[in-house]
Amino acid sequence: MRGNPEVIDYLNMLIGGELAARDQYLIHSRMYEDWGLAKIFERIDHEMQEEAAHADSIIRRVLFLEGTPNMNRDDIETGEDVITCLKADLKLEYHVREKLAIGVKLCEEKGDYVTRDMLRQQMSDTEEDHTYWLEKQIRLIELIGLQNYIQSQM
């Protein structure tokens, strides 16, 4: 099925963001594991797998629309400690959410409702799961202190 070229181009841009999110979560999860923070490692590793699934869905959609997926990922921001990792991941999620919202609007304008619905689902994952959880972790650190938070993640 021949897709709208603007939608295909936009999806290709989104692939780069999802691949960056995957790789950023990958490095951060491995850092947490190395630091002995098993609970946060498990959560961030799970987020990495979800970002890979998001990228996979978009890649499959581009192929279905007879486009060629662009596998160039966006830049990542690697944290140096728990707080900078969490803040970098939250910044990335805010960026991805903004780009998904624009993609939903574009798909609506171009009449590609299947792609729109796929992006809406990814936006829901971003807002209701990833972003909310990261915001909650940062609030917990503010409430109980970094050392107590770190201890709770062991």
Residue 46, marked binder:
yes
User: 5-36 burial, b for 16+ CB within 10 Å, e for fewer?
Assistant: eebbebbbebbbbbbbbbbbbbbbbebbeebe
What CA–CA distance (Å, rounded) separates 20 from 5? 23
Residue 93, marked binder:
yes
Residue 50, marked binder:
yes
Residue 77, marked binder:
no
Q: How many CB atoms lie within 10 A of CB 141?
A: 17
Residue 135, marked binder:
no
Residue 28, marked binder:
no
Residue 6, marked binder:
no
**Per this entry, what is the length of the chain?**
154
Binding site membership: which residues?
A: 18, 46, 50-51, 54, 93, 127, 130
Q: Residue positions in the annotated binding site for Fe cation?
A: 18, 46, 50-51, 54, 93, 127, 130
